[in-house]
């Protein structure tokens, strides 16, 4: 009994090391944002918590990383919300709302999302960022209005009904396959946020971007629930405090980087297709109507509450 007590005492306060993976490449804009979180933890959390970054999509395919967290293959994952829809269809709901991350923490949306992550992903919902970074449709052929009849677009599953409503067909591929698909004419375009086109090299095979954008990026940092619960209270508190720092820091970066990313695209020769006010409103209405209708079909028991929390 004495030996056990001494052993427990020695273990108390030991530094925890968490294995992490990113669904988005670490060389791109979103991967670099996650690196801010990792670096901050490793610098400020010495003796408390450290993160060992295993890698990005090359380590575990992006659409499999949610399952890797759920099963405890990794402790932490940096996941675009639409990359683990197979486990939690509600994950992408925040992308359809009008309420930012800070407000979600105040109005109950955060707690609701965390409960769903606990139940469906076996994960703790630690941090999120991307509010204010809109999604766009990028094309290799010009259009005059939001009618994409005859176009084939790369899309994640949650956006396929939206593209269908615009007249387009869609296929789902990992980001690493998009360049070749565009180059070979397998697809005529894709959806992606304003950030990161140039980092991925897609600017070389992209001709147009449709404005206005729609929705908002919702990229999350989630922790395997069993691993989270095994952490000491001081370690969990440190990570929660870091999450708030991270969300505040990334929110301040968005406006500046939105402007610089748009300029990068223009400098690369990507032309902006600016819809008329009337057409732009119609285009965005199609998006919001379609995604919420689809969400209601996938998650009838949670959609009404999520919409109440996320849409002003």
* Domain-embedded: residue 263: no
Whether 242 and 106 map to the same domain: the answer is yes
Top pLDDT among 256 and 60 is at 60
| Confidence band of 12 (pLDDT split at 50, 70, 90) | low
Closest CA to 223 of 95, 65, 39: 65
* Domain-embedded: residue 107: yes
* Domain-embedded: residue 280: yes
User: Both ends of the chain: CA-CA distance in Å?
Assistant: 58
* Domain-embedded: residue 3: no
Whether 111 and 238 map to the same domain: the answer is yes
As for how many domains the chain has, the answer is 2
Answer yes or no: is pLDDT of 1 > 80. Answer: no
* Domain-embedded: residue 264: no
Beta strands, E only, 75-200: 76-80, 123-129, 135-139, 152-154, 169-171, 189-193
Whether 113 and 167 map to the same domain: the answer is no
Rounded to an integer, the average pLDDT of 197-206 is 94
* Domain-embedded: residue 8: no
Instruction: Say if residue 101 is exposed, middle or buried (CB neighbours under 10 Å; 0-12, 13-18, 19+).
Output: buried
Whether 151 and 27 map to the same domain: the answer is no
Whether 276 and 208 map to the same domain: the answer is yes
Q: Determine the Cα–Cα distance for residues 228 and 87; give it in Å rounded to an integer.
A: 19
* Domain-embedded: residue 1: no
Whether 123 and 166 map to the same domain: the answer is no
**147 sits in which H/E element:** none
Whether 293 and 192 map to the same domain: the answer is yes
| Confidence band of 174 (pLDDT split at 50, 70, 90) | confident
pTM of the model: 0.88
Percent of residues, the chain, with pLDDT higher than 70: 96
Per-residue pLDDT at 156: 79
Q: Determine the Cα–Cα distance for residues 239 and 283; give it in Å rounded to an integer.
A: 40
Whether 76 and 166 map to the same domain: the answer is no
Whether 46 and 121 map to the same domain: the answer is yes
Whether 18 and 113 map to the same domain: the answer is yes
Domain holding 252, by residue range, is: 13-132+217-257
Per-residue pLDDT at 9: 34
Whether 118 and 233 map to the same domain: the answer is yes
Whether 114 and 202 map to the same domain: the answer is no
Closest CA to 261 of 310, 305, 217: 217
* Domain-embedded: residue 299: yes
For the domain that residue 278 is a member of, what is the CATH number? Answer: 3.40.190.170
Q: What are phi and psi of 242, to 5 degrees?
A: -65, -35
């Amino acid at each position: 009994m004495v030996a056990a007590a001494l052993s427990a005492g020695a273990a108390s306060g030991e530094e925890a090391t968490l294995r992490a993976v990113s669904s988005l490449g670490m060389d791109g804009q979103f991967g670099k944002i996650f690196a801010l979180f990792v670096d901050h933890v490793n610098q400020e959390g010495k003796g408390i918590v450290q993160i060992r970054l295993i890698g990005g999509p090359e380590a575990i395919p992006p659409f499999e990383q949610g399952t890797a967290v759920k099963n405890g293959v990794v402790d932490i994952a940096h996941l675009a919300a639409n990359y683990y829809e197979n486990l939690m269809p509600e994950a992408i709901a925040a992308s359809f709302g009008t309420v930012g991350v800070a407000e979600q923490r105040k109005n109950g949306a955060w707690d609701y999302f965390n409960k769903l992550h606990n139940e469906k992903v076996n994960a703790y919902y630690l941090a999120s960022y991307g509010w204010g970074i809109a999604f766009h449709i990028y094309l290799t052929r010009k259009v005059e209005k939001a009618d994409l009849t005859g176009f084939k677009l790369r899309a994640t599953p949650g956006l396929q009904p939206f593209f269908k409503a615009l007249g387009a067909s869609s296929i789902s591929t990992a980001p690493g396959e998009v360049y070749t698909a565009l180059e070979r004419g397998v697809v005529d375009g894709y959806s992606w946020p304003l950030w990161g086109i140039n980092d991925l090299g897609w600017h070389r095979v992209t001709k147009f971007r449709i404005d206005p954008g729609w929705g908002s990026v919702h990229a999350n940092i989630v922790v395997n629930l069993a691993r989270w619960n095994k952490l000491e209270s001081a370690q969990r508190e440190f990570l929660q405090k870091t999450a708030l720092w991270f969300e505040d820091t990334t929110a301040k970066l968005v406006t500046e980087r939105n402007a610089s990313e748009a300029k990068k695209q223009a400098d690369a020769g990507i032309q902006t297709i600016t819809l008329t006010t009337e057409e732009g409103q119609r285009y965005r209405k199609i998006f919001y109507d379609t995604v919420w209708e689809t969400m209601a079909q996938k998650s009838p028991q949670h959609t009404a509450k999520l919409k109440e929390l996320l849409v002003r």
